[in-house]
């Protein structure tokens, strides 16, 4: 605790922003979870959105959504994480490799813990039967949470070696876009409620922000140890 206070005695803007963003995201995730547990207005909105999506389904759009949702599949995320860690290790970026591994591993554990704690059932299959296979509890969406963590981690670790700011911004925007599309696909395919994917993305960004802030604290501590 004393070391943390010492680091915060001369705070870095990114640390302050990270702590503030983490506090805000914790509050938002808590509010979403409370709404689900108490079955308030958000639950009724979930049902309405699902009913509207049933009206716009088409074979072509379903094919696109299945492709998009596969980008957040464990069969993509798990090997993708392993390859990313190996690449970073081969590039002699041990801190980034450890960051990526911890973000994904602990994120998956936290997702499982919340799912088991809430135990929200998945939506009823759409007319005509389920469009894709899905198992486990519904809240939060594991696809949304882990896809957010993975694509944000890829953008961050790859962006650290990119000097041009606009390219780093484009990588971050692409990560957010892919995560958002994956989340939308889960709702379209009828395997999650909108609040599930909203909580998944919120939880993913929350855990990523916490890890990013911790990474910055570690780098600041390391820099002060080695001196100018």
Instruction: Report how far residue 197's alpha carbon sits from residue 115's, in angstroms, rounded to the nearest whole number.
Output: 13
- Evaluate if residue 194 carries a pLDDT over 60: yes
- pLDDT attached to residue 197: 93
Q: How many CB atoms lie within 10 A of CB 165?
A: 9
| Lookup: tokens for 103 | 């973000």
Share of the chain above pLDDT 70, in %: 85
Q: Tell me, what's the pLDDT at 219?
A: 74
Give me the chain's average pLDDT, please: 84
Query: What does the DSSP assignment read for 26-77?
Result: HHHHHHHHHHHHHT-HHHHHHHHHHHHHHHH--HHHHHHHHHHHHTTSHHHH
180: helix, coil or strand? helix
pTM metric for this prediction: 0.84
pLDDT for 34-66, tens place per residue? 777 776 656 678 878 877 877 788 889 989 999
Residue 9 has pLDDT above 60, yes or no: no
Comparing 194 with 24, the larger pLDDT belongs to 194
Predicted local confidence at residue 86, as pLDDT: 96
Average pLDDT value for residue range 6-35: 70
CA–CA gap between residue 101 and residue 211 (Å, rounded):
11
Q: Residue ranges per domain, the chain?
A: 13-221
> Which of 161, 4, 13, 181 is CA-nearest to residue 88?
161
pLDDT recorded at residue 70: 94
Name every residue whose Cβ is closer than 8 Å to that of residue 81 and which is 6 or more positions away in sequence: 100, 101, 104, 150, 153
Query: What is the CA angle 74-205-6, rounded to 5?
Result: 125
CB-based contact 151:175 (threshold 8 Å): yes
Q: What is the pLDDT of residue 7?
A: 47
- Is-contact 190 125, C-beta < 8 A? yes
Q: What is the pLDDT of residue 224?
A: 63
Put residue 119 in one of left, alpha, beta given phi > 0 → left and psi -120 to 50 → alpha.
left
128 pLDDT more than 70 = no
Separation of alpha carbons 98 and 217, rounded Å: 15
Q: Which of 7-11, 108-112, 129-133, 193-197 has the lowest mean pLDDT?
A: 7-11
CB 153 within 8 A of CB 104: yes
Statement: residue 81 has pLDDT above 60:
yes
For residue 71, what pLDDT band results from cuts at 50, 70 and 90? very high
Q: Can you give the pLDDT at residue 53?
A: 78
Nearest to 146 by CA among 173, 185, 106: 106
Answer whether residue 226 shows pLDDT above 90: no
Tell the residue number behind the tokens 């591993």, with chain if given.
105
φ, ψ for residue 90, nearest 5 deg: -65, -25
Residue 168 in this model has a pLDDT that exceeds 70: yes
Residue 119 has pLDDT above 50, yes or no: yes
| Amino acid 130: pLDDT | 67
């Amino acid at each position: 605790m004393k070391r943390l206070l010492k680091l915060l005695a001369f705070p870095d803007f990114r640390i302050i922003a990270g702590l503030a963003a983490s506090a805000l995201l914790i509050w938002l995730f808590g509010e979403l979870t409370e709404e689900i547990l108490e079955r308030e207005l958000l639950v009724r909105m979930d049902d309405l959105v699902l009913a509207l999506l049933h009206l716009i389904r088409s074979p072509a759009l379903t094919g696109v959504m299945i492709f998009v949702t596969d980008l957040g599949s464990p069969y993509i995320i798990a090997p993708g994480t392993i390859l990313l860690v190996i690449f970073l290790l081969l590039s002699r970026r041990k801190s980034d490799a450890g960051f990526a591994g911890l973000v994904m591993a602990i994120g998956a554990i936290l997702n499982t813990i919340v799912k088991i704690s809430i135990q929200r059932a998945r939506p009823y299959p759409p007319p005509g039967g389920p469009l894709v296979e899905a198992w486990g509890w519904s809240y939060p969406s594991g696809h949304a949470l882990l896809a957010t963590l993975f694509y944000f981690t890829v953008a961050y670790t790859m962006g650290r070696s990119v000097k041009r700011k606009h390219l780093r911004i484009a990588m971050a925007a692409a990560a957010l876009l892919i995560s958002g599309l994956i989340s939308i696909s889960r709702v379209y395919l009828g395997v999650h409620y909108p609040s599930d994917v909203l909580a998944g993305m919120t939880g993913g960004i929350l855990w990523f922000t916490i890890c990013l802030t911790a990474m910055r604290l570690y780098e600041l501590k390391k820099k002060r140890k080695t001196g100018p």
